[in-house]
Chain A
Amino acid sequence: QKEVEQDPGPLSVPEGAIVSLNCTYSNSAFQYFMWYRQYSRKGPELLMYTYSSGNKEDGRFTAQVDKSSKYISLFIRDSQPSDSATYLCAMSATLGRLYFGRGTQLTVWP
């Protein structure tokens, strides 16, 4: 079993839809949880980060962490074509080595 599981998609939604992305993990030592957005041929851009459990909201993005279920989510409200990218979840126990999901490819069509 991989440390982090993420459905690679692809996921295709119409503009304005609510997008739900999620990852599951197996290592209960993970405390730092990040979501990155990566456009083609670019480095990952940090969207959200959370320490331990809980919810965090930033504009159209909401990140949720449920450590009891070892499950994290990213919600994108009012999705836009510019949100089309690959979304990577990443997590770590000590902010040393990051463990990544495979990435979910999202397309938002007008």
Chain B
Amino acid sequence: GAVVSQHPSWVICKSGTSVKIECRSLDFQATTMFWYRQFPKQSLMLMATSNEGSKATYEQGVEKDKFLINHASLTLSTLTVTSAHPEDSSFYICSARVEKGAGNTIYFGEGSWLTVV
């Protein structure tokens, strides 16, 4: 199957600082990537859809100025949490759409744990 890699796997940052999470498609080109957030024992919550070369589309209630998404190439999307606060501590997961005709599907990265102290 296709491989989606996230980095870092976990990060601790101080309140008020910014942190960047990278999502890479390792063996395919992804025109569309997705960013999710997951709270303990809950399902994934879509934050935004990232399209290569254009602005991301944010879900209702997600602050686009706080969660900056950049999809500058067909293999890389980044999520930057700006001016992080403890309530931003969460598990962030990206996914990428693979388009191979009948094999179209979506793969997820390993996730990134963010702790804001």
In chain B, residues 1-36, which have Cβ atoms closer than 8 Å to a Cβ of chain A? 1, 6, 32, 34
Minimum Cβ distance to chain A for residue B66 (Å) = 21
Complex contact B6–A43 (CB within 8 A)? yes
What 6 new A-B contacts, CB under 8 Å, besides A43-B6, A46-B106, A49-B105?
Answer: A41-B91, A41-B113, A51-B102, A96-B49, A98-B44, A101-B43
Contact across chains for B108 and A46 when beta carbons are under 8 A apart? yes
Which one of A41, A95, A100, A102 lies within 8 Å of B104 (CB-CB)?
Answer: A95
A92 to B99, CA, bound (A): 14
Give the chain A neighbours of B91 by CB distance below 8 A. Answer: 41
Q: Are A43 and B106 in contact (CB under 8 A)?
A: no
Q: How far is the CA of A44 from the CA of B99 in the complex (A)?
A: 19
**What is the minimal beta-carbon distance from A106 to any residue of chain B, in angstroms?**
14
B104:A32 contact, CB within 8 angstroms: yes
Residues of B within 8 A of A45 (CB): 108
Indicate whether A43 sits within 8 Å of B109 (C-beta atoms), given known contacts A95-B97, A96-B49: yes
- 1/0 per residue B37-61: CB within 8 Å of A? 0000001101001000000000000
Given that A46-B1, A51-B102, A96-B49 are contacting pairs, would A103 and B43 also be in contact in the complex, using a CB cutoff of 8 Å? yes
**Closest residue of B by beta carbon distance from A51:** B102
Known interface pairs A51-B102, A51-B104, A95-B105; A42-B43 also in contact (CB < 8 Å): no
Closest-by-CB residue of A relative to B112 is: A43
B44 touches A100 (CB 8 A): yes
Residue of B nearest to A100 (CB): B43
User: Does any Cβ of B come within 8 Å of A97's Cβ?
Assistant: yes
Q: Beyond A43-B110, A49-B105, A51-B102, is A97–B43 a contact (Cβ under 8 Å)?
A: no
> A36 an interface residue at 8 Å Cβ cutoff?
yes
Bitwise interface map of A from 59 to 81 toward B, beta carbon under 8 Å scored 1, else 0: 00000000000000000000000
